Structure 1
Amino acid sequence: MDGLKQVRIGEVADDILEQIPKGAFLTVKAQDKLNTMTIGWGTFGRMWNKPVFMVMVRYSRYTYELIEKADTFTVSVPLNGKFKEALAFCGSKSGRDHDKFKECNLTAKPGQKVDTPVIEGCDIHVECRILYKQPLDPEKLPEEIIDMSYKNGDFHVLYYGEILGVYVEEQ
């Protein structure tokens, strides 16, 4: 990809952690279907001697249908208020009903190390290969978390992705 510089996750960790609650794009491609959604939760660290980014997707989401058939995902992180309207749209509309790329003027750019594209114009891109997935077990969650986040019973599946590449868009 033109204008990208590869970095280590630690070099951009603070920026990612600060932006995630404001929104980032989780993009998934399965066969010929492509979707992106806004995530506000996620984390990264080290597991199985690999750098890992963990994202959560609810069963009800269209992205869940795709990620279950995918081997990879990307996280594109816009900083400084960029893509605010697109993040709001992609967090409230379903890819079943909307072409989010078209409706939000988002450009999918090929990933460097994965088949899943990233979103052009975002400041940071993380490319991941799915290593492990785990449905949340409601019986092991504290009641206050269920009351706060899962009153409707729409739980998440956790996807652990090995970080294969981290890139920043050069200005």
Structure 2
Amino acid sequence: MFKDIHYNEYTREFMEQLPKGAFLTVKDGDSINTMTIGWGNIGVIWNKPIITVAVRYSRHTYHLINHSNEFTLSIPLNGQLKKELGYCGTKSGRDVDKFKECGLSAIKGNMVETPVIGECDLFYECKIVYKQTMEPALLDTTIDEKYYSNHDYHVLYYGEIVSAYIKEK
């Protein structure tokens, strides 16, 4: 069903899809939540393959990810799941079960406890190796004014990619 890949084999496809949406999933104990992200990065830091994601303090995922040491990214590559990405980007896991409401299947990860979303095509499993709270005083003022007028800043999570794979066709 899945084929292991080198972490950077589908970097172009990942980065092209990211502004359209990808699913960031976190598990803390029995609680699982997914949210839509549109910002992130993939590269090498500390000689490790790293994905960086940003989660705002106000998000339900923020509370889960701080009690977890991992996350997964599930990326649809074929134009599917637009409605689901929209829903998961506007509804809170505090109030709804996004998997149930969107008909998404949680598939057990290869190397982490956090599941991936089975309806997607490209998957990354990550172990958090660093967390960085944004320092507003160091942020470019035009970015601060445009994206943080309400002062709901992000925490940046650096996840070492421990498994990457695609859905076999």
| TM-score w.r.t. length of structure 1 | 0.98
Quote the residue 1:104 is aligned against.
Answer: 102
The correspondence for 2:48, drawn from 50, 69, 72, is 50
1:125-164 correspondence to structure 2 within 5 Å: 125-164=123-162
The correspondence for 1:34, drawn from 7, 32, 35, is 32
Q: Which amino acid aligns with 1:17?
A: M
Quote the residue 1:66 is aligned against.
Answer: 64
CA positional deviation for 1:128: 0.2
Mapped contact 1:121–1:169 kept (Cα < 8 A): no
CA positional deviation for 1:10: 1.7
Aligned-residue sequence identity (percent) comes to 54
CA positional deviation for 1:80: 2.1
Counterpart of 1:9 in 2: which secondary structure? coil
Alignment root-mean-square deviation, CA: 0.5
Quote the residue 1:82 is aligned against.
Answer: 80
Q: Which amino acid aligns with 1:168?
A: I
1:25 and 1:10 map into 2 onto residues whose CA distance is 18
1:25 and 1:18 map into 2 onto residues whose CA distance is 14
| TM-score w.r.t. length of structure 2 | 0.99
The gaps in structure 1 that reach 5 residues or longer are none
2:83 and 2:111 map into 1 onto residues whose CA distance is 29
1:170 and 1:138 map into 2 onto residues whose CA distance is 43
Counterpart of 1:10 in 2: which secondary structure? coil
1:59 and 1:128 map into 2 onto residues whose CA distance is 20
Which aligned segments of 4 or more residues in structure 1 are displaced greater than 4 angstroms?
none
